[in-house]
Amino acid sequence: MGVLDGKVVIISGGAGGIGGAQVEEFVLEGAKVLVADMAEGPGRALAERLGPNTAYHHLDVGDEASWTACVQRAVDLWGGLDVLVNTAGIAGYKLIRDTTVERYMNTIRINQIGTFLGVKSVIEPMIARGGGSIINVSSYAGVRASGGSAAYSSTKFAVRGLTQSAAIELAAHGIRVNALLPGVIDTPPVQGWPQDRREQQAASLLFKRFGKMRDTARMTVFLASDDSAYCTGADFYVDGGAALSTPRPAPPAK
């Protein structure tokens, strides 16, 4: 038996990267998972590969109607909703002077508003279920900013604030809300960094290596499961001590 047997889960940004690793671990632990993402090809392929306890749904996290349809799809498929993992997000680094308002607002739309809408959309179905677990993916950059991260870090700080506020509001309904704070995880974008940048970044970390996507997925499983039944409103780091490491300077201007 898995620790998530019988639980119905939505994972935004679940088509690949950290979200894809979360989907795989959740299915292994017995959950029924809706892969919610804009990337239809990879999302459908993942759902088909993992079998009948997984389905794909096209989700634009910045659109409230899209969230409503996504939640309804999960309820229609499996009769309710127990867990939401708000993983969808975008990064990218630019100096403030080079950041357009359009770029800044798009980061807010996806990382911050998308997380807010996800939380809002699952409250009623989770209350109907007698409780649930919401995991919002922030970042160690949501605790310790670096040069060039104004847009990204602003939203990840905001996700932590949202998490704490939601935890206070929803505790009476048996809904737990926690934040996951990954560090530098060896996702496909990070794998594409130039080798000298990879080596320099790894050298700045306490463990001298990047995290694995499965590291974040296993922590997310814990937060979704009844093993974390007394945890809410908290930050859970999966960063290899990155938040304690030397602050990073701004990257070269592009």
Q: Which residue has the tokens 């490491």?
A: 245
| 152 given a catalytic annotation | yes
* Whole-angstrom distance, CA of residue 189 vs CA of residue 196: 15
Q: How many CB atoms lie within 10 A of CB 134?
A: 27
Nearest to 32 by CA among 68, 75, 65, 61: 75
- Point out the catalytic residue in the list 56, 93, 152, 237: 152
The token duo for 185 is: 């995880």
Q: Under a CB-based contact definition with an 8 Å cutoff, are residues 179 and 159 in contact?
A: yes
* Whole-angstrom distance, CA of residue 121 vs CA of residue 239: 29
Catalytic residues: 152
